[in-house]
Structure 1
Amino acid sequence: MAAAQDPSLFLGFDFSTQQLKVVAMDESLSVVHQSNVHFDSDLPEFRTRGGVHVHADRLTVTSPVLMWVKALDMLLDKMKEAGFDFSRVKALSGSGQQHGSVFWTRGASETLKNLQPDQSLETLLQDSFSVPASPVWMDSSSRKQCDALQEAAGGALRLAHITGSTAYERFTGNQIAKVRATRPEEFQKTERISLVSSFAASLFLGGYAAIDYSDGSGMNLLDIRSRSWSQICLEAVSPQLDLLLGDPKPSSSILGPVSSYFVQRYGFSESCRVVAFTGDNPASLAGMRLQQGDIAVSSYCLPPNSREVKAVESDTVFLWIADPRPALQGHVFCNPVSEQAFMALLCFKNGSLTRERVRDQCAGASWEPFSAALRDTPLGNGGNIGFYFDSQEITPPAVGVHLFDPQDVQVCSFSPQVEVRSLVEGQFLSRRLHAERLGYSIIPGTRVLATGGASSNNEILQVLSDVFNAPVFTLDVSNSACLGSAYRALHGLSAESGASFFDVVKNAPEPQLVAAPHPEAKEVYDQMLQRYARLEERVLQKSRP
């Protein structure tokens, strides 16, 4: 009797800001292997802090491309030493930190095609990049280029309607324009421009990988509705830029077989397929398995964007959107798991740290009385509304603490219990307001997925459920970008036969229900949301110079 074959495996990589991670998943969606390389500690020769170099102007932030290359060498070597069987890998995909760009020098394509398996990728590719230090998402040095792009597109809102976002300094189109203006010789030597995601895919493919629609829509260059490059935006950045970018492709595309380099050096099967890589945020949406009507609210730690040690505890909202309405705040991307849908992302700087500050001031630095205050105060907080922007907020662009009584009169303070509920309700009203402005709508079956630090506090989750009038679930999303990439690798093999992403992941663990809205929540918060929107405009008027 023939021995049973070992089950196939699917790899998901994540080239994030601070580390390179991988998970291996089997056909039953169980994770069977995990590994990582931390840039600062495992690759100290590159002298990064938080995976980046912050330059003297404190606006320019880059990462060494060869650090990412060497990290892949190290990661695969670690897996090989651990006895990982690469021959079982049927497909692989991955993600990269969004908005980072890689500039390949002339002749690099030939180098990629002829990689010699007896040498490391770092050695083979050391001369393959015209710009050795890649601009990354923390860079904010391209304001001049942003202004020029918005003017060419007909204004900030018009650019958002085309590309899903107004012009942001970190977005790749503006970074390309800056390189062209400030480093013309290096730009002239450039043969191809990749995102971090398509750069990583290119390593495995042994040739230039296409940019996928989802990560491509974080560049200020892609028309998110036609899913093709916007000629207006391309021409504003550089003549014939499309030749340097290549044609974008669907996120589920199989780009080709893995390079013979990996077959010979690590024992990959020649039949292993490379599925298009995407951005880390889209990959996380896949990892969380968001569906139409779903919203994910996450609190997490942003790496420091300066030489300060302290990070920023930010809240991020992921949305599945059918009919997007791009706005001056927030981002709309092509959906990585459905070509008929979109995803949106909103970032709120005043998240966990602001909650902790109010906890310390109003609840004796303890979560127990903080939670008790939420239980003991009514839905709607008696009409009291607060805005808590301890630092300059992203969405909306305002600063300061602004408190309003039930008659919309601004007041100096609330009682401690009222303040606690005012903070939490205000934060979630803001998340809902700006989500709906981007085209999100609560529908029957809407779920709210809560992740990150705030997902462990049941009283906070109850307010979240009430404000959105939807049940709240929690989900273990550690390594969600890696897991989403492994899911997408599996889906890539099935997509051509018509299988949907959700057909592929239907047996994944279900999220856990933790809160359901009170019966009166809809009436209370639908009305309160309208007041909140009016009061936010008053706050914005005060914040404008």
Structure 2
Amino acid sequence: MAIIVGIDVGTQSTKTLWYDTTSRKTLALTQKAYGLTERPDGTREQDASWWIEAIIACFSQVDPAIREQVEAIGVSGQQHGFVPVDAAGEVIRPVKLWNDTSTAAECGELNHALGGMDDLLSREGNPILPGYTASKILWLKKHEQQSYDRLDMILLPHDYVNFFLTGEYSMEYGDASGTALMDIRSRTWSERILAAVDSERDLRKMLPPLREASEPAGHVCSRAAGLLGIPRGVLVSSGGGDNMMGAIGTGTVADGPLTMSLGTSGTVFGCYSHPVIDSKGRLAAFCSSSGAWLPLLCTMNCTVATERVRELFGKDVKSFDALAMEAPVGSGGLVMLPYFNGERTPNYPHGKGCLMGFTSENMTEAHISRAAMESAVFGLKYGLDAFKELGFPITEIRLIGGGAKSGPWRHMVADVCDVPVVVPQVTEAAAFGAVLQAYWAWGTEKGEPEELTDIITEHVVLDGNSACMPNASVVPLYQEAYVRYLSYVGNVAPLFS
């Protein structure tokens, strides 16, 4: 029996998934929630120590007999966060997260210095957006000079967890590509972007060695082993960002299927054998954590919209879904723009939540609830359209995240996107992807290498009972509502961009 652990360090909580590769069963799934520091200027921060405390708490919930048999660990982490570390390995300040929009001015400064979006897309493959790491580094330099002077190592959240586990610094290509410091086509650091962030210090010396997806980040050190109650020397795989791990956990490692995640943020992504650069800047051009490329659309506001409305109306999840389904497709013309945290796609860092199109007929709890659900899916269809425009055939959507557990959500995604929808049996896709990547690295280190695609074929199972086909009578109604939604998105640009 080979027990592999996947650690998923998310925005709201950390989860661990304990998987027996022989029986192909999940032995344990543990979770520990934590908070988020928010300020009106767009600040979204967490203390890195919260993640470590949560990991220790998650491991402590598992039977010691299972912990003693762990063979490998993989780590998934929320992308883009900036963990500044000093020469002693101490975190200098709270971590600016992926949904922190307080660095919008620094983004503008960097984009201007580097020739604008078109030049960045043609040369490096990505513009510099507030969610990415690059502007966070410049923000620290401009606003907290003493902290910046202490900076010795630039880490991402999953890199920091790997450092806690192994005592070694490393960074993996998939997560690294989300820093906006990398030339995506060549998978190398961009000298001109690094110089634009700081023309005096050599930032290359502050970036850890890059690891291939199949390489280990190291092995569990004595300190981490004692805190977690696991053997010293357990292999730790390279890990990756949560979306990259989600691609592995859903089997999205080749052309055809797309994965869509309905969580606090919303994402839709596919895996391709070559770089995919969207000239309109809708899709982020990332590397995958499986040795390929992962074009991705991310919206900062997805189920956050429905959760806020659900709380406002005092409904539980099932009651909210039922209430929303009382309203007609298109919510009677009511449109929500759920930009509660600003927005990344479209690039509206100053965005605010909006409800538009009220009439005396649609000003009801049911219509508002449905408008919130539809806004989340419409935002992701925006990315699906980009994939289609770039000529990629889409065979199905593999749905993950909290929304994937809901029948109304699954049917809405199928009908809005006009694509079949299916849900993987293991719903914690990021943690499971970390498991499978760690299993891949563990077998390679033992001298028994397998292809990642073969591992996925053996272990990723889709739940046929959850499958939803598009309803031909409903699809045109959603198309009309989506066009209306896009008109509102375009018209608020002067306010929020």
TM over 0.5: yes
Structure 1 equivalent of residue 306 of structure 2: 352
Q: Distance in 2 between matches of 1:544 and 1:76?
A: 43
The Cα shift of 1:423 comes to 7.7
- In the TM superposition, 1:55-94 aligns within 5 A as 59-76=42-59, 79=62, 82-94=63-75
Q: Distance in 1 between matches of 2:53 and 2:320?
A: 45
CA contact (8 A) 2:249 2:460 kept: no
Structure 2 equivalent of residue 13 of structure 1: 7
CA contact (8 A) 2:306 2:373 kept: no
Choose which of 209, 217, 232 in structure 1 pairs with 2:177: 217
Structure 2 equivalent of residue 320 of structure 1: 270
Q: Distance in 2 between matches of 1:525 and 1:250?
A: 46
Structure 2 equivalent of residue 501 of structure 1: 452
Structure 1 equivalent of residue 416 of structure 2: 467
RMSD (Å) for aligned C-alpha atoms: 4.1
CA contact (8 A) 2:16 2:30 kept: yes
CA contact (8 A) 1:215 1:278 kept: yes
Q: Distance in 1 between matches of 2:90 and 2:372?
A: 48
The Cα shift of 1:244 comes to 0.5
Structure 2 equivalent of residue 407 of structure 1: none
CA contact (8 A) 1:293 1:441 kept: no
Q: Distance in 1 between matches of 2:382 and 2:181?
A: 27
Structure 2: which amino acid aligns with 1:33? A
- In the TM superposition, 1:369-380 aligns within 5 A as 370-371=324-325, 374=328
Structure 1: which amino acid aligns with 2:290? V
Residues 359 and 157 of structure 1: CA distance in aligned 2, closer, same or farther (over 3 Å): farther
Which has the greater radius of gyration? 1
The Cα shift of 1:199 comes to 1.3
Structure 2: which amino acid aligns with 1:337? S
The Cα shift of 1:65 comes to 3.4
Structure 1 equivalent of residue 193 of structure 2: 233
Residues 478 and 240 of structure 1: CA distance in aligned 2, closer, same or farther (over 3 Å): same
Choose which of 191, 198, 204 in structure 1 pairs with 2:159: 198
Residues 134 and 275 of structure 1: CA distance in aligned 2, closer, same or farther (over 3 Å): same
Structure 1 equivalent of residue 431 of structure 2: 482
Q: Check if 1:152 corresponds to 2:108.
A: no
- In the TM superposition, 1:233-252 aligns within 5 A as 233-238=193-198, 239-252=201-214
Structure 1: which amino acid aligns with 2:103? S
CA contact (8 A) 1:152 1:232 kept: no
Structure 2 equivalent of residue 174 of structure 1: 135
The Cα shift of 1:16 comes to 2.8
Residues 150 and 185 of structure 1: CA distance in aligned 2, closer, same or farther (over 3 Å): same
CA contact (8 A) 1:295 1:318 kept: yes
Percent same amino acid among aligned pairs?
19
Give the match's secondary structure for 1:33.
strand
Residues 441 and 424 of structure 1: CA distance in aligned 2, closer, same or farther (over 3 Å): farther
Q: Which runs of 5+ in 2 are unaligned?
A: none
Structure 2: which amino acid aligns with 1:293? G
The Cα shift of 1:241 comes to 0.4
1:417-469 per-position Cα deviation (integer Å, ceiling 9, x unaligned): 996988876764553233322666662632352642475234x5434323323
CA contact (8 A) 2:4 2:19 kept: yes
CA contact (8 A) 1:294 1:449 kept: no
CA contact (8 A) 1:163 1:217 kept: no
Q: Distance in 1 between matches of 2:140 and 2:373?
A: 43
Q: Distance in 1 between matches of 2:410 and 2:175?
A: 31
Q: Distance in 2 between matches of 1:21 and 1:462?
A: 27
Q: Check if 1:294 corresponds to 2:294.
A: no
CA contact (8 A) 2:336 2:371 kept: no
Structure 2 equivalent of residue 535 of structure 1: 487
Q: Distance in 1 between matches of 2:42 and 2:280?
A: 25
Structure 2 equivalent of residue 97 of structure 1: 78
Give the match's secondary structure for 1:236.
helix
The Cα shift of 1:503 comes to 1.4
Residues 38 and 468 of structure 1: CA distance in aligned 2, closer, same or farther (over 3 Å): closer
CA contact (8 A) 1:335 1:343 kept: no
Give the match's secondary structure for 1:131.
coil
Structure 2 equivalent of residue 452 of structure 1: 402
Q: Check if 1:515 corresponds to 2:468.
A: yes
